[in-house]
Amino acid sequence: MAATAAVSGAKRKLRAELKQRLATLSAEERRRQSRLLTQKVIAHSKYQKSKRISIFLSMQDEIETEEIIKDIFQQGKTCFIPRYQFQSNHMDMVKLASPDEISSLPKTSWNIHQPGEDDVREEALSTGGLDLILMPGLGFDNHGNRLGRGRGYYDTYLQRYLQLQGTKPYTIALAFKEQLCHHVPVGEHDVRVDEVLYEDPTAL
């Protein structure tokens, strides 16, 4: 029990630090890194092979995903986006009809567009699953450990996916280089991501 409390405390501290770090990024720098990551995703072999892709609609302090979403449709792939249930940690991945419909979707209290609860849409898990999930997060380390925003939506979704499908999709997290940490504290329910994409200064 004490270990769980220690992990929670360490996560809270790191979340505050990362939010502060992200707040100092200029809009121009966010755009620059987002453009770079868009190119990395589109050139990625896993992305190219995937037919059914889930991707998040970005909040202000996240990598902008708009151009990747456009490319998913241009390549004739199927695009799914998260629909969060705010009263729980339940999330579904529901089908997006086109990039143009995003701006007309209702906004949540987090200021994210998402289809309403009564909007009946194809849901990924019950219609063939997903090949790839492009994930957000607050912080990441080089071992694939991810620090979310504390609600556990993605961890819970991936555990449910594994139970129902017996396997899980490939997961790629999209991050600003400022979101990389030496070590992300994890608990027993945290699910590692397969890969974290970010601007690697050593590769420039």
Annotated binding site for ATP: 11-15, 146-154
Residues 179, 140: Cα–Cα separation, whole Å: 6
Residues 114, 93: Cα–Cα separation, whole Å: 10
**Sheet harboring 132-135: ordered strands across?**
91-95, 78-84, 52-55, 132-135, 170-174, 195-197
Residues of each annotated binding site: 11-15, 57, 62, 146-154
Burial of 112 (C-beta count, 10 Å sphere; 0-12/13-18/19+): middle
Residues of each annotated binding site for substrate: 57, 62
CA distances in angstroms from 66 to 58, 70, 71, 94, 156, listed in the order given: 8, 6, 9, 17, 25
Residues 21, 183: Cα–Cα separation, whole Å: 16
CB atoms closer than 10 angstroms to residue 166? 7
Considering only CA atoms, which of 178, 196, 154, 175 is closest in space to residue 63?
Answer: 175
Q: What DSSP line would sit under 68-104, residue for residue? A: HHHHHHHTT-EEEEEEE-TTSS-EEEEE-S-GGGGGG
